[in-house]
Structure formats: structure tokens, C-alpha cells
């Protein structure tokens, strides 16, 4: 999640490049901006508030983004630039996030000259929205990165790599935390810690890019340790011709960093897979194995726990949280 926040800074930085004065957004201005709503997002590209002192106008004349998740719910994201009347320097970027029911969440990305306490409050706000609206931050970062280029996104992550390693155990165990979900043959999902010998599960039928059923032949559980875990977030998007209607499928998987996965460039350990690479996942909409793009990768200590792995009578894969992984 922290990396996504860094991405949001990239929006800030580009905003700041446009600034002509080193004026930051004050806490009072920040709080006031969040209370200002656009009456009609389809028509109002320009508005004033605060006794006409402040101006919001559609960022770069961009159209809104529409993101539809696997649940079929469509979210709308509109970006507006915030500035003081008579000054070109932007104070920040307004975010208007509208749900399928019309409920609207408003936040404001401060500019680079804003006080740290304003930034802390901004982070608190988007964390709070994310608890109510699942994957809010991810969807927002998706939109921002589209706006400000994927290359810039990757560049901002370089500084984070130095802080990846925490106090987790890096060993020979190739496993998953117990709460990762295995795709069962009856269509349900079961936490890997509850899977039993003889259970019927899905594995990949790689020749036909579909799945097939096989039997669990071995269940392995390793002793409790503070294992290092890599968490991948992968996405598949279908984008309209104008780039503003987006159907987004999101999968997340955690495993020990040495666990092998199939990428489009060959077999790699999950910990070495880079953001932007493509891996194979099951599309829940059609049950087919398709390429998903790695959107985020986070490595940290997972806390004291057992980790698990499976072997099956046929195939050498498991479908964990919708993602295709090798058994070992």
C-alpha cells in the first residue's frame, strides 16, 4: 500500500511542475476544499467556492474514468485542479469518487509545498475511504498512473526497493500463508490450511488455457516462523477505445519469495517478479487462464505462522486466490 501512496506523490510532483509559486495547501484550505462538491460532474468543468477565492477546474480537460469491478459495480473518478483565483499555481488536485449508488467521496491531493500534517491527513482520508470502498486506493492509483505514465510510476518505486527487506525469515520452504484460498472442484474456495488429502481441486490445463480437476496427494505444513512473504497484486483491464471506460479484475496472492510462478518470460520466483510483468491467472468471468499484469509487489515479514503447500496427482500447478502458481 505504501508504494501506491508513493505513486500518488508522482501526481503531486507533476502538478508541482506546473506551479509558479511555492505556496502549499494549508490545513484550513485542505479541510475547506473537501467540503466542496461539484453539482454536475457531466457539465461543470469550472467552479468557485470560498467566497470565490478558490477555483476548481477539470484537470487538463480530462474526461472522467469509469471502473467496473468483478462485482459489476461501476465507479466514477473525476480529477479537478484546485487553485486560488488569480494565481496559476495549483494548490492540489481534487478527487471526486462516485459509487454506483451515487454516493460521493471527496479528497484532495496536496501539492509538494504543503505541510507534512496536511499530507498525513490526506493519507488518513484515503485510508478511511479504502476501508469503506474496497480497492479505492488501487483504483485511484490506476487512474493516476494512466494519466502520468507507467514509466514514471516505475521510477518512483526505485527508492522503495531499498526498504523491501524486513525482519522476515528467508529459507528453503516454498509455501503459502494458511489463509490463501485454493480453488476447489465444486466451485468453492477453501483456505489452504484446511485442505485435506484426497480433496478435489482445480489445477491449470495449460494446453487449453482452462482448468481441470485433480486430487490432492500431499499436504505440507511447515513449522511456525516469521516468514518473509511477497504479496502480488495483479490486474486485468479492458479499456474502451477512448480510454475512459475500464473493466478491472483484481487478484492478490501472498507466498514465500522463493515460490515459483509462470510469467510470460519464463518461470520466476514470486519475489523476483517485477511490476509490469505478465503472469497467468484465472479470469473469474469466463474461467479461462489469461494474462494479468503485475500491478504492485510488496515484500515484508508475515508474522509468526505456519505456511503450507500442496501436491496433486496430476498437473504441477495450484490456483491460489485465482492466480496460477507452481506446486514447488
- The percent of residues above 90 in pLDDT, for the chain, comes to 38
Task: Tell me which residue of 183, 188, 190 sits closest to 205, measured CA to CA.
Answer: 183
Same domain, 111 and 146: yes
Q: What does the pLDDT average to over 215-223?
A: 90
Helix (H) or strand (E) holding 151: helix 150-161
3-state percent breakdown (helix, strand, coil) of the chain, nearest 5? 25, 45, 35
Output the pLDDT for position 326: 85
The pTM score is 0.58
> For the segment 254-274, what is each residue's pLDDT rounded down to a tens digit?
998 888 888 888 888 888 888
Output the pLDDT for position 206: 79
Higher confidence at residue 240 or residue 307? 307
Higher confidence at residue 271 or residue 16? 271
> For the segment 277-327, what is each residue's pLDDT rounded down to a tens digit?
999 899 888 888 999 999 888 877 777 888 898 989 988 889 999 999 887
All residues at 6 or more sequence positions from 124 whose CB lies less than 8 Å from its CB, including other chains: none
The whole-chain average pLDDT of the chain stands at 82
Same domain, 270 and 227: yes
Torsion sign (Cα): 173, 174, 176, 182? negative
Q: Domain ends where: 122, 155, 188? A: 155
Same domain, 191 and 122: no
Other C-beta atoms lying within 10 Å of the C-beta of residue 103 = 10
How sure is the predictor about 154, in pLDDT bands with cuts at 50, 70 and 90?
very low
Q: Domain ends where: 99, 120, 155? A: 155
Same domain, 183 and 75: no
Same domain, 137 and 244: no
Domain presence at residue 295: yes
How far, CA to CA in Å, does 79 sit from each of 65, 92, 105, 300? Answer: 9, 10, 12, 33
Cβ contact 130:120 at 8 Å: no
Output the pLDDT for position 222: 85
Domain presence at residue 73: yes
Whether the pLDDT of residue 217 is over 90: the answer is yes
Same domain, 144 and 196: no
Higher confidence at residue 7 or residue 98? 98
Domain presence at residue 34: yes
Output the pLDDT for position 266: 81
Same domain, 320 and 232: yes
For 136-165, b/e burial (b = at least 16 CB within 10 A) is bbbbbbbbbbbbbeeebbeebbeeeeeeee
> For the segment 42-98, what is each residue's pLDDT rounded down to a tens digit?
988 889 999 889 999 988 777 888 888 878 889 999 999 999 987 767 899 999 999
Q: What does the pLDDT average to over 25-31?
A: 94
Residue 232: CATH number of its domain: 2.170.16.10
> For the segment 88-125, what is each residue's pLDDT rounded down to a tens digit?
678 999 999 999 999 999 999 998 889 999 999 999 99
Same domain, 151 and 51: yes
Output the pLDDT for position 173: 60
Domain presence at residue 169: no
Other C-beta atoms lying within 10 Å of the C-beta of residue 18 = 13
Domain presence at residue 70: yes
Output the pLDDT for position 153: 38
In the three-class reduction of DSSP (H, G, I as helix; E, B as strand; rest coil), residue 12 is classed as helix
Whether the pLDDT of residue 16 is over 80: the answer is no
Output the pLDDT for position 178: 92
Domain presence at residue 6: no
Domain presence at residue 235: yes
Q: Domain ends where: 123, 155, 187? A: 155
Question: d(Cα 148, Cα 158) in Å, to the nearest integer?
Answer: 17
Other C-beta atoms lying within 10 Å of the C-beta of residue 260 = 16
How sure is the predictor about 246, in pLDDT bands with cuts at 50, 70 and 90?
confident
Output the pLDDT for position 30: 95
Task: Tell me which residue of 51, 158, 48 sits closest to 94, measured CA to CA.
Answer: 48
Q: What are phi and psi of 203, to 5 degrees?
A: -130, 175
Structural domain for 242, as ranges: 176-326
Whether the pLDDT of residue 135 is over 80: the answer is yes
Helix (H) or strand (E) holding 15: helix 2-17
Total domains in the fold of the chain: 2
Q: What does the pLDDT average to over 15-25?
A: 61
Output the pLDDT for position 78: 94
Domain presence at residue 1: no
Amino acid at each position: 500500500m505504501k508504494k501506491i501512496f508513493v505513486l500518488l506523490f508522482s501526481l503531486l510532483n507533476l502538478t508541482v511542475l506546473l506551479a509558479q509559486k511555492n505556496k502549499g495547501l494549508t490545513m484550513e484550505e485542505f479541510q475547506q476544499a473537501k467540503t466542496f462538491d461539484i453539482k454536475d460532474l457531466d457539465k461543470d468543468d469550472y467552479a468557485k467556492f470560498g467566497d470565490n477565492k478558490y477555483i476548481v477546474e477539470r484537470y487538463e480537460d480530462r474526461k472522467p474514468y469509469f471502473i467496473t469491478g468483478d462485482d459489476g459495480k461501476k465507479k466514477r473518478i473525476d480529477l479537478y485542479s484546485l487553485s486560488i483565483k488569480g494565481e496559476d499555481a495549483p494548490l492540489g488536485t481534487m478527487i471526486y469518487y462516485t459509487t454506483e449508488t451515487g454516493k460521493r467521496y471527496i479528497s484532495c491531493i496536496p501539492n509538494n509545498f504543503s505541510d507534512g500534517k496536511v499530507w498525513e491527513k490526506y493519507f488518513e482520508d484515503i485510508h478511511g475511504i479504502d476501508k469503506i470502498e474496497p480497492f479505492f486506493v488501487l483504483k485511484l492509483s490506476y487512474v493516476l498512473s494512466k494519466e502520468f505514465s507507467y514509466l514514471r510510476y516505475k521510477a518512483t518505486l526505485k527508492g522503495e526497493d531499498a526498504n523491501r527487506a524486513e525482519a522476515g525469515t528467508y529459507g528453503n520452504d516454498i509455501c503459502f500463508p494458511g489463509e490463501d484460498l485454493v480453488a476447489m472442484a465444486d466451485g468453492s474456495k477453501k483456505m489452504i490450511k484446511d485442505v485435506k488429502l484426497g480433496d478435489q481441486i482445480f489445477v491449470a490445463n495449460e494446453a487449453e488455457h482452462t482448468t481441470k480437476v485433480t486430487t490432492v496427494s500431499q499436504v505440507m505444513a511447515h513449522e511456525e516462523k516469521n516468514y518473509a512473504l511477497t504479496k502480488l497484486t495483479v490486474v486485468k483491464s479492458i479499456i474502451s477505445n477512448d480510454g475512459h471506460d475500464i473493466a478491472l479484475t483484481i487478484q492478490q496472492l501472498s507466498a514465500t519469495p522463493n515460490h515459483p510462478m509462470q510469467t510470460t518470460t519464463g518461470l520466476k520466483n514470486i519475489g523476483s517478479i517485477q511490476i509490469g510483468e505478465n503472469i497467468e491467472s484465472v479470469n473469474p468471468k469466463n474461467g479461462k487462464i489469461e494474462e494479468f499484469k503485475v500491478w504492485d509487489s510488496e515484500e515484508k515479514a508475515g508474522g509468526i505462522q505456519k505456511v503450507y503447500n500442496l501436491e496433486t496427482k496430476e498437473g504441477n500447478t495450484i490456483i491460489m486466490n485465482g492466480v496460477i502458481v507452481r506446486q514447488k
